[in-house]
Amino acid sequence: MLRIAFAGTPDFAVPTLERLVQTPGVKVETVYTKPDRPSGRGRKLSESSVKQFAKSSGLLIRQPKSLQDPAEVALFQNDNLDALVVVAYGQMLRSAVLDSPRLGCLNVHASLLPRWRGAAPLQRAIQAGDNETGITIMQMDAGLDTGAILATQLFPITDETTTAILHEELAQTGASLLVKTLLELERGDIHAKMQSDSGATYAHKIATEDAAINWSHSSEVVLRHIHAFNPMPGAFCFTGDVRIKIFRVKPSPIISLGTGIIWKTPDGKIAVGTKNSVLEILECQLPGGRRIGVEQMCALSHAPWVVPTQINGYPT
């Protein structure tokens, strides 16, 4: 029986924990997740997605403020684990933790390392125009996503790919690949390959201002930008001081439209001009509203696109 601990926090990590719980010959001894935090208007304490699943599964949960605390490290070491599996935990781990399990610490990372080390690999891969991304199972070391690679699996990026799509696909892919890799590691059928720093890129954490749309870029760049920030924080632009969030677009057959001009076409499309061509908006959100599609957008009588209107990255 493989005795493991799991460390993760957001919903991306839940499929891997669920798959481990279901795997014969694997026992999840402890689940580590970040402490509950205030959220919403009432600032009530909110449990992480991983904690919610762990509670429903009857698993032992630990929520230290830091796994670098000597007392927490000692508790971890006393478990004498075979492995620690880490998926978007959100804390750096000390060497004393990384070196403790017999098989080491395995991380599920949502990129093809060494490309897009860091906090936001899905968004940055789409934004940069990468043709593919994927999952890397890594043997963790003290660096930031610099550990040796155990396994990878590719996933294509197309003009229709959004971060929301990648999130769902790679969460499931990562779960399957992690379990397969863990069992192969236990049998001695797999060996880690040292990661090269050549070609390494860093996926900086997303700030809200990163999502502002610059319509003076090409349609290709604007499309990737919008899809990269779907669902969060949502790519946005302004007409006057009214902010519009845009979640999905596609190339339009309209030959030309002024840069940053948004317009409801006679055939029921919402079009915006860019530097070199035109995009159709497929899904957006107006202030105080919910996400809506093209039919609902066209039905609005007081929307900015009822007449051709200039929109910008920031208020004018």
Q: Decide: residue 113, CB within 10 A, 0-12 exposed, 13-18 middle, 19+ buried.
A: buried
pLDDT in tens, 68-119: 999 999 999 999 999 999 999 999 899 999 999 999 999 999 999 999 999 9
Look up residue 296 and give its amino acid: Q
Arithmetic mean of pLDDT, 262-277: 95
Arithmetic mean of pLDDT, 299-313: 89
Q: What is the pLDDT of residue 43?
A: 76
Q: What is the pLDDT of residue 44?
A: 83
Phi, psi dihedral angles at 42 (to 5 degrees): -80, -5
Given 1.10.20.10, 3.10.25.10, 1.20.120.160, 3.30.590.10, which CATH number is that of 209-310? 3.10.25.10
Statement: residue 39 has pLDDT above 90? no
pLDDT in tens, 137-189: 999 999 999 999 999 999 999 999 999 999 999 999 999 999 999 999 999 99
Q: How confident is the prediction for the chain on average, in pLDDT?
A: 95
What's the token pair of residue 166? 């990648």
Where is average pLDDT lowest: 246-260, 268-282, 300-314? Answer: 300-314
Q: What is the pLDDT of residue 222?
A: 98
Q: What is the pLDDT of residue 84?
A: 98
At the topology level, CATH places domain 2-203 in Rossmann fold (3.40.50)
Q: Which ranges in the chain are annotated with CATH 3.10.25.10?
A: 209-310
Q: Which ranges in the chain are annotated with CATH 3.40.50.170?
A: 2-203
Statement: residue 315 has pLDDT above 70? no
pTM: predicted TM-score of the whole model, two decimal places: 0.94
Q: Decide: residue 305, CB within 10 A, 0-12 exposed, 13-18 middle, 19+ buried.
A: buried
> Do 118 and 152 touch, CB atoms closer than 8 A?
no
